[in-house]
Structure 1
Amino acid sequence: MQSTIFVTKSELYSWLENSVNHSREKRQQISSVILEHPHLVLDLLDIAYTVNDPISCKAAWVLEFAFKEDNTIIFPVLNKFFKGLKSLKLESSIRPCAKICEILMIKYFSKKENNIKEQLNENHLEQITTTCFDWLIGDHKVATQAYSMTSLLLLGQKYSWIYPDLRSILEKNYPYGTAAYKARARLTLAKIK
């Protein structure tokens, strides 16, 4: 696997279709190839944003794995990444992208010096904000909503209007949420106050 280079997007697609599954080992294996050949991130993102294609989930999983190893791999495609978030329909594609957004926001608002701050612009932050609110109020699984809560909580440090809206949504949805949703909502509400 170390020397595998996908020459075309269709070869990458075929590998995702036939070789990637839910196991961490398989996702890690192909993310290593992506890290060795970062030019493949664009093709990976194209596949991840193919609406309603079950292989898009696998591409999103691999993107998340590769991003966790080296967040700089997403820098050349940031505009495409943020623009495509709204097109995602499958929950198993949305969750890894929501996690990437959460990590970006944690690093962006970190007091430690890092390279994320100089990469994200105002438009990117607005796109994350809008998308996270959509994921929070939409019919999504708890993980996606929890990642969105964290991102919005952090973004509220920059945009004061976020906290009242976030508080309102969490309080409204709290009675209907799962135990995991309620736990994350309580933590988020406590930090807002």
Structure 2
Amino acid sequence: MTEKQLHTSLFAARISKAQIDILVGQLEKEPELAKVLFQYVLQEDKEGTFNASWTFDHLMRKQLHYLLPFMETFTNGLSQLQSESCIRPIAHVCEMVCEAYFNKKDPIFLKTVTNNQLEKIMTACFDWLIGPMNIAPKVFAMSSLYYLGFKFDWVHPELKQVLEDNYPNGTSGYQNRAKKTLDKLARLGV
């Protein structure tokens, strides 16, 4: 697959889940196109479409390490995102990065991802958690922030406060995940 073919696939029309799966299969053979795909995520965020972000999320589910060569570009791009249709899949990618780093302790992530990059993920996740988003980005942000609190000691108390403050007005999905996160924080003594 070439960059031009990728562009055509993403921007010709709205693509289905089956088409995403085919595209991801092709992209798995072309790891250098992952960065190009992320650039399309930033482009489509301004246009209000989400084919690239959906594809990016599904590619990262299979080949998260494809993100590492352009991790700095990825984390710098988080603050640019405005469309919830793009933020949702990218928030999921942030959660996967945090799981790889903190939960799985994947050596390549531990070696490659910097504290500065983790801080950019943390900032974006707090913005998504306290912003006017629907449930999915908030849920992914909660998980990411829970993990990030193991490196940045001020995060767990701040996360707890945000969750407690917003719990009464949250949707049932928000309340469910907030309760689970608050229970985990309580077990840590936060």
CA separation of 1:114/1:20 partners in 2, compared to 1, >3 Å: closer, same or farther? Answer: farther
Q: Which moved more, 1:132-141 or 1:115-124?
A: 115-124
Structure 1 stretches (4+) deviating beyond 6 angstroms?
Answer: none
What is the total number of aligned residue pairs between the two structures? 185
Q: Matches of 1:111 and 1:32 in 2, distance apart?
A: 25
Aligned pairs for 1:145-156 within 5 A: 145-156=138-149
Tell me what 2:114 maps to. Answer: 121
* TM-score of the superposed pair, with normalisation by structure 1: 0.90
| Identity level (%) | 32
Aligned pairs for 1:79-158 within 5 A: 79-111=72-104, 113-158=106-151
Secondary structure of the equivalent of 2:32? helix
CA RMSD of aligned residues (A): 1.5
Q: Matches of 1:113 and 1:94 in 2, distance apart?
A: 25
Q: Which moved more, 1:159-168 or 1:107-116?
A: 107-116
**Given residue 185 of structure 1, which amino acid in structure 2 is its aligned partner?**
A
Report if the CA contact (8 A) 1:108-1:116 is conserved. yes
CA separation of 1:116/1:135 partners in 2, compared to 1, >3 Å: closer, same or farther? Answer: same
Q: Matches of 2:103 and 2:3 in 1, distance apart?
A: 38
How big is the shift at 1:78?
A: 0.7
* TM-score of the superposed pair, with normalisation by structure 2: 0.91
Structure 1 residues not aligned, in runs of 5+: none
Aligned pairs for 1:1-193 within 5 A: 5-8=1-4, 11-18=5-12, 20-21=14-15, 23-50=16-43, 51-55=45-49, 57-111=50-104, 113-193=106-186
**Given residue 160 of structure 1, which amino acid in structure 2 is its aligned partner?**
D
